Chain A
Amino acid sequence: DIVMTQSPDSLAVSLGERATINCKSSQSVLYSSNNKNYLAWYQQKPGQPPKLLIYWASARESGVPDRFSGSGSGTDFTLTISSLQPEDVAVYYCQQYYTSRTFGQGTKVEIK
């Protein structure tokens, strides 16, 4: 199984500042035949189901604010919130879908 490891486990960022979450996979999730990274990002707020933010590592889901962006390839990926808003307080998960489906352990984002 592909193991997904996120860092940090939690971070506190001032309002309006940038938040960066990293995700590393135990093997590449880049499919060479289509040059796509099988990597997604989700946001989960307390008491709610997760919400899809990003797929194909960098494609933003419809309706997701453009302050959220995804980058990376192969085994190393990043979710960036360019200007943290109060409503962005949540736990964020990466997930690979290259082989089966596995999630990272989550990163909790709080306001400093």
Chain B
Amino acid sequence: EVRLVESGGGLVQPGGSLRLSCAASGFTVSSNYMSWVRQAPGKGLEWVSVIYTGGNTYYADSVKGRFTISRDNSKNTLFLQMNSLRAEDTAVYYCARDKDLGGTGGTFDIWGQGTMVTVSS
């Protein structure tokens, strides 16, 4: 079964750090484009970051310089290192697999259940 399971969320103070993990099963993370998408409470979806098969990474302007996406191929796991956290980073964070559109990514066909990150003092 193709599955993504996030972990690592929790309560953190402003300025703090958190590392999210996303364990994949049923497919290989390194062979797919993988993204993080977040959703603030009661709000819409916001794409956060993507890592391509070749290792290139891209970020939303709102997190650039503060968040780092990475993967561990041996563990088939995706990560999101979040530093200098702000109240506006409070959200459910989903990892998602980009659908293979013949060399083009950008749509998300497999999603995890999400992990909640709360930034508050």
Contact = CB atoms under 8 A, between A and B. Distances in A.
A103 B46 CA distance: 7
B112 interface: yes
A72 interface: no
A7 B45 CA distance: 16
B112 A101 contact: no
Interface of B: 35, 44-47, 50, 58, 60-61, 94, 96, 99, 101, 104-109, 111-114
Given A55-B99, A105-B44, A97 B106 contact: yes
A98 B107 CA distance: 10
Interface residues of A, number: 24
Interface of A: 1, 38, 40, 42, 44, 48-52, 55-56, 61, 93, 95, 97-98, 100-106
Most buried by A among B47, B96, B113: B47
